[in-house]
Chain A
Amino acid sequence: MFNGNVINKTYVYDGTFEGLLSMVFDCYIKKVIPLRIVSKNELEINFLDTIEEIKTDNIKAKRIFDGIAKNISYDTLYNSYYAFLSDGNEKELNILKYILNGFVIGPKINTMLSIDFVFAVCSMRKRLLGESHRFKRFTPFF
């Protein structure tokens, strides 16, 4: 498993998949896992959280993107992208943990369904695809 310290910070990213991937890069280098991740437009400022903004860097994102495809599997890439598109609960944190552990464990991560974040990501993907399928079957009636 990925051994990173859980730090008491809220990471803010710009709401794009590239932004999330560059945050994965930063977390991988620093070996940390934030307590919460929020996108910029959902941010609500309060006194308790220390906020750190992550800048979107396309080069970092590309490196992580290629790294997932090369070192983990295409399935992981699809899982994390579809989970990102869905509206799951704490989707960013689950994706972050999923990818970081994926780099340590390798392609086997997809079969480890008894880990809760892996199962969360897989079920988010399944729900998203089901919903989009239902919409596509529904539109011909109009």
Chain B
Amino acid sequence: MKYISQNIAISKQEKSIYKEKFVPAGQTTQLIVGATPETDLKIMKLSESLYNSLDLKRVYYSAYVSVNNDENLPALEAPPLLRENRLYQADWLLRFYGFKIDDLLDESHPNFHTLLDPKCDWALRHLENFPVEINKADYNTLLKVPGIGVISAKRIITARREFNLNFENLKKLGIVLKRARYFITCNGKYFDPIKSFNHNFISENLLFLERLSTHQSSYVQTSLFDTLPKAQELSYNFDKLLPTKEDKQKCLTGML
């Protein structure tokens, strides 16, 4: 890997002399996640150092899928797909958002949050940097707001040159306020329903949203006969509808 990265650097310098680049697509690597007991912190440290020292284009992460059963191989019930997703999210934060892995994770919590994405998690732990004023903050500060990405940040910066932005304008610009609304102010005002800016309030709301979305995602394959009650249920209901002996007695005694 070192050989390739050195040669890429050399060929960049010699670009004026030779037409063909050495390894024009850059180099990448892949890490298998979940087979060994490493923490997310260790994995991300590795990829950060790869990006910094070897100038890699990308590091891919893939969840370990157990194909064979053997006592030497780790036994996993399901591949850790959520962990893979969180690692990719953190990877993007490293490359495009100017984060360092020491900001996102440390020894006290070495793994990513399962319910919140890494940027949200970071923002909740560093509430002293928030709220961010949309009309004044610079590009790098805007990027650190959860829910605002590269495209949104650039759009905000071009749009606010002429006018002060408010929340309605932000919605029109196509900026998703689902998470961002807890961390921003427009002209010194919070988003309407937000009454207090503190850790508990924000985290409760964010986690509630996450849970709501997980509840709704329990889809069922529909079938033609779904609307008809099943045979067992029918007979059960039928029994209930018919008056029992006790009911008859109650009728006689006037209780029903």
Contact = CB atoms under 8 A, between A and B. Distances in A.
B172 A112 contact: no
A49 B161 CA distance: 39
Contacts of A123: 174
Interface string B155-190: 100110111010001001110000000000000000
B153 to A, nearest CB: 13
A5 B213 CA distance: 47
A113 B159 CA distance: 5
B159 A111 contact: yes
A108 B160 CA distance: 12
B169 A111 contact: no
A7 to B, nearest CB: 26
A108 B165 CA distance: 16
A112 B158 CA distance: 8
A119 interface: yes
Interface residues of B, number: 11
Contacts of B159: 111-114
B172 A116 contact: yes
Given A119-B172, A119-B173, A114 B165 contact: yes
Interface string A88-111: 000000000000000000001001
Contacts of B169: 114
A114 to B, nearest CB: 4
A112 B173 contact: no
Interface string A2-32: 0000000000000000000000000000000
A111 B173 CA distance: 12
A125 to B, nearest CB: 14
A114 B174 CA distance: 10
Interface in B102-151: none
Contacts of B161: 108, 111
B161 to A, nearest CB: 5
Interface string B43-66: 000000000000000000000000
Interface in A110-141: 111-114, 116, 119, 123
A119 B163 CA distance: 14
Contacts of A112: 159, 162-163
Contacts of B155: 113
B152 to A, nearest CB: 11
A111 B162 contact: yes
A113 B163 CA distance: 9
Contacts of A113: 155, 158-159, 173
A12 to B, nearest CB: 30
A62 B104 CA distance: 57
A119 B174 CA distance: 10
Interface of A: 108, 111-114, 116, 119, 123
19 contacts: A108-B161, A108-B162, A111-B158, A111-B159, A111-B161, A111-B162, A112-B159, A112-B162, A112-B163, A113-B158, A113-B159, A113-B173, A114-B162, A114-B163, A114-B165, A114-B169, A119-B172, A119-B173, A123-B174
Interface of B: 155, 158-159, 161-163, 165, 169, 172-174
Given A108-B162, A114-B159, A114-B165, 7 more contacts: A108-B161, A111-B159, A111-B162, A113-B155, A113-B158, A114-B169, A114-B172
Q: Which 6 A-B pairs have the closest CB atoms?
A: A113-B159, A114-B169, A112-B162, A111-B161, A111-B158, A114-B159
